[in-house]
Structure 1
Amino acid sequence: MLRLSKLTDYGTVIMTHLARDPGRIYSAAELAAAIGVAVPTVSKILKTLARHHLLQSLRGANGGYLLARPPEHISIAQVIDAMEGPAGMTECSVAAGLCAQEGLCAIRANWQSINRVIFMALNSVTLADMAQPVLHTVDIGALHARGARAAS
């Protein structure tokens, strides 16, 4: 089963909350209360997202955090990448040279194809999409066809 870490899950919830009112500045305490997660955990996530330029951090009495870009310009893939690093089903699907069996592996290309489809699906969903009451469906078949054309 594919599963995101709890911190990444919380990160997507925080970013989606911010996307619902993108110009508003939120404190860590406000966000923690809104999503029901402890302030230290929320603070850790906010710092990570700000370090990856997805959030803007403002200091001072009226400081806090807001989205660094409009919600339609931030994808779920970018949030996952900021929280966990490059998403990959297997070591070899992230980058070459990470697996000792790479030269002998007969299924590496298949894993890379699967990884590409998953990435394209995650990259096609923005924070603006997530902020909607119901997410539009993602046509996996169209994504796979687009990935196959890009690979050839």
Structure 2
Amino acid sequence: MIDNLLEGNKKFREGFFKENKAVFDEIAKGQSPTVLWIGCSDSRLQTGHITQTLPGTLFIQRNIGNVVPIHDWNFATVLEYAIRHLKVKDIVICGHSDCGAIKALEKETDDVYIPLWLNNAIEAKNRVDAKIPAPKTPEAAKERSRMIEQENVR
């Protein structure tokens, strides 16, 4: 796998990097993104691909479940830097369907850190709990998960 990563980097340098040299020359002087993008760490989601943006456009914070934790130093630092120093104009919280983190809110686990992290999203689950009962079918569970995903980005 490491060889694939190195080969991919070589292709990037010889292709995309050269094709967008002016962009890279400009962002080498410093960054000035206009958007703070908060997204999920899911490996299937590549922010630049799904937004079709060039490097330097987005300041990106990714974490499991695209959570906005109110007591997390890392997140607070990203938010403060984006607003005070980069002067971003917009903040986007982007969730996605079939999110494993959101599904994990409904399950018992012997993991140590994941449940602690997901407590940051428990309010989204609680708001859905107040609206609909526990699901009785796989289809209802999927719909409930979708509702929690949507509530988590509100």
Q: TM range, normalised to the smaller chain?
A: under 0.3
TM-score (ref. length: structure 1):
0.24
Max radius of gyration: which structure? 2
Q: Which structure shows the higher strand fraction?
A: 2
TM-score (ref. length: structure 2):
0.23
